[in-house]
Amino acid sequence: MKKSFILIIAFFSVFPYLFADNDSVVIKRNDGYTMADNLDSLLLSWYYYTGRDTLTFLNPSDRYTFNTEVSDSVYAERIKKIETPLDLTYNKNVQKYLDRYVKNGRWIAPKFLGLSHQYFPMFEEKLDSYNMPLELKYLPVIESALNPRAKSPAGATGLWQFMFKTGQGMGLEINSYVDERMDPEKSTDAACRYLKSLYETYGDWTLALAAYNAGPGVINNAIRRSGGATNYWDLYPYLPNETRNYVPGFIAIVYLFTYADQHGYKPEKIEFYDDVDTVMITQELHFAQLDSVLGIDIGQTRDLNPQYKMDIIPAKSQAYPLRMRRQYISKFIELEDSVYNFKDTIFFNPQKYTYKPDEKFVDYAPVAEQPEGTIALTYTVKSGDAVGLISSWYGVDIARLKAWNGLSGNNIRVGQVLKVYVPQALESKYKIVNNLTFEEKQRMIGINPATNTPKEEPMDPDYEYYTVKSGDTPYGISLKYPGTTSDEILKLNGITNASSLRIGQKLKIRKKS
């Protein structure tokens, strides 16, 4: 698994990445929803708790008060006291990297400490499951500066810097669309299995680390040239320069994390989402479809799913995982078909769509595919109009209205002409909508413009009813009534737009038994 020793160059090559708000792997949490919305995920959140709320984070002024003047003898004594199955030796080669990452670590150390709270809990869980030393969690700091998209000049990729053939050999999928070397969880599992196999080969964790960097062939050649030495430091003169630096650098990083407090180092506060779950994707999906239909920013989806190289999940013959914030899960389930169908003829047609790795928002060309049995009408946007209002006036789904008009978001402008497809049988009903006043359009859908409240229909004593609460969706409501589907509820209440539910609205659910 030969690759360059890249901590120095990798860190500085991704230095802007670590500091950038938009491109960073660690992404900001939005707390704009209530505790009530979070109750169903509290238990799951507990399992992923990292203790970040108990940390003391770095203040800007702290950066100039670090205690970095430590004698060599103190370094040596402290390294000797680190309790680990790994052979951590102190010498002048290790000191060179202690100078780099500890003595001169004003900018690097707090970043590493901050990023560690995103990845270390997962690393530790995987290492523990394989009964391996937990100190191996520091290896990705050396390998990638904790950047899942890191790529060395030799082609090693991901947090654990797998080479192409080694990654494939460990069962990681690597093709034009997917590179699981950049999947934090799958690459961590592969790295644990690979490191364990190297340890079983050499019976020594230090040699296993050296072989992880240089490849077993290089280590075997060094053993032969040395006359059969099996200690890393005895092999040191026979190793390539990058591997000579690799283990000393690793020892220095272990020291940094173990004794950070002794030097006054505190983690830089790097915020990230901690309310993430996984759904399985069963059809081809483009990240821009999530942006357009659910409002999930493309950059956010990329950060949570770095293994998808072209913003496409190629789920043609197998399902693939997609990580997203839990607040979007129910909406995705409800609108899954709309997500898959949104401009699929554009995104999966190479002649019409070109992948742009840095795009954050794209106004894609409209797709005017007319559903069977419909007739095309036009509507001119007026002051005060909104996409949701227009969709309700025509009885169409918001996602469909946006797809027909090439809208990637909800922004529309006065005077803009929108195309709307309605059933041929209802042409006369909807043909007049464009010429109605706002009040007339609201009355047409049963809302009193004076109070902006819907006209209440009398309750049928033969049916069960449900009163809509904050955060409810048709799918979520259907789960409360086994044997009932969201489509049945919508049809029973004459609702064509699933997003038009109102708090306090009484929905007819099913006939009483």
Q: pLDDT tens for residues 336-351?
A: 888 888 876 777 766 5
pTM: 0.63
| pLDDT average, residue stretch 101-124 | 92
* Long-range CB pairs of 312-315, under 8 A, 24+ apart, other chains included: 312/177, 312/284, 312/285, 312/286, 312/287, 312/347, 312/348, 312/355, 313/177, 313/281, 313/284, 313/285, 313/286, 314/177, 314/178, 314/284, 315/281, 315/282, 315/283, 315/284, 315/285
Written out in words, the top-level CATH class of the domain with range 463-511 is: alpha beta
Active-site residue, from 143, 180, 268, 334? 143
Q: In CATH, what number does 374-452 get?
A: 3.10.350.10
Tens of pLDDT, residue by residue over 223-265, are 999 999 999 999 999 999 999 999 999 999 999 999 999 999 9
Q: Please tell me the distance from the alpha carbon of residue 500 to that of residue 497, in angstroms, as a whole number.
A: 6
Which stretches of 234-317 are assigned E, i.e. beta strand? 276-281, 285-286, 312-313
Range among 22-26, 108-112, 132-136, 241-245 with highest mean pLDDT value: 132-136
Residue 278: strand pairing partners = 323
R_g over Cα of the chain? 29
Residue 403 confidence (pLDDT): 78
Q: How many residues does the chain have?
A: 513
**Is pLDDT larger for residue 305 or for residue 355?**
305
| Amino acid at position 164, single letter | F
DSSP annotation of 99: I
Flag the least confident range among 223-227, 291-295, 298-302. 291-295
| pLDDT average, residue stretch 184-188 | 96
Could you tell me if 7 and 142 are in contact, meaning their C-beta atoms sit under 8 angstroms apart?
yes
Displacement of CA 85 from its chain's centroid (Å): 34
For the chain, the structural domain boundaries read 71-261, 276-347, 374-452, 463-511
φ/ψ of residue 440, rounded to 5: -65, -40
Q: What is the mean pLDDT of the chain?
A: 81
Could you tell me if 170 and 187 are in contact, meaning their C-beta atoms sit under 8 angstroms apart?
no
Q: Is the pLDDT of residue 361 over 80?
A: no
Query: What percentage of the chain carries pLDDT values higher than 90?
Result: 46
Residue 86 confidence (pLDDT): 96
**Is pLDDT larger for residue 199 or for residue 392?**
199
Residue 38 confidence (pLDDT): 33
Tens of pLDDT, residue by residue over 124-170, are 999 999 999 999 999 999 999 999 999 988 899 999 999 999 999 99
Could you tell me if 198 and 211 are in contact, meaning their C-beta atoms sit under 8 angstroms apart?
yes
**Is pLDDT larger for residue 16 or for residue 245?**
245
Closest CA to 295 of 262, 237, 342: 342
pLDDT category, 115, cuts 50, 70, 90?
Answer: very high
Sign of CA dihedral 170, 176, 180, 181: positive
Could you tell me if 137 and 120 are in contact, meaning their C-beta atoms sit under 8 angstroms apart?
yes
Q: Is the pLDDT of residue 408 over 70?
A: no
The two domains 71-261 and 463-511 share their CATH topology (first three levels equal): no
Tens of pLDDT, residue by residue over 48-63, are 344 555 678 877 777 7
| pLDDT average, residue stretch 489-494 | 81
Could you tell me if 445 and 491 are in contact, meaning their C-beta atoms sit under 8 angstroms apart?
no
Residue 304 confidence (pLDDT): 93
Written out in words, the top-level CATH class of the domain with range 71-261 is: mainly alpha
Q: Is the pLDDT of residue 504 over 80?
A: no
Q: Is the pLDDT of residue 355 over 60?
A: no
143 counts as catalytic: yes
Q: Is the pLDDT of residue 106 over 70?
A: yes
Residue 510: strand pairing partners = 464
* Long-range CB pairs of 59-63, under 8 A, 24+ apart, other chains included: 59/266, 62/264, 62/266, 63/106, 63/107, 63/110
Coil/strand/helix, residue 3: coil
pLDDT category, 109, cuts 50, 70, 90?
Answer: very high
Q: Is the pLDDT of residue 441 over 70?
A: yes
Flag the least confident range among 151-155, 247-251, 421-425, 442-446. 442-446
Could you tell me if 375 and 422 are in contact, meaning their C-beta atoms sit under 8 angstroms apart?
yes
What per-residue string of b and e applies to 306-323 under the rule 16 or more CB within 10 Å gives b?
A: bbbbebbbbbeeeebebb
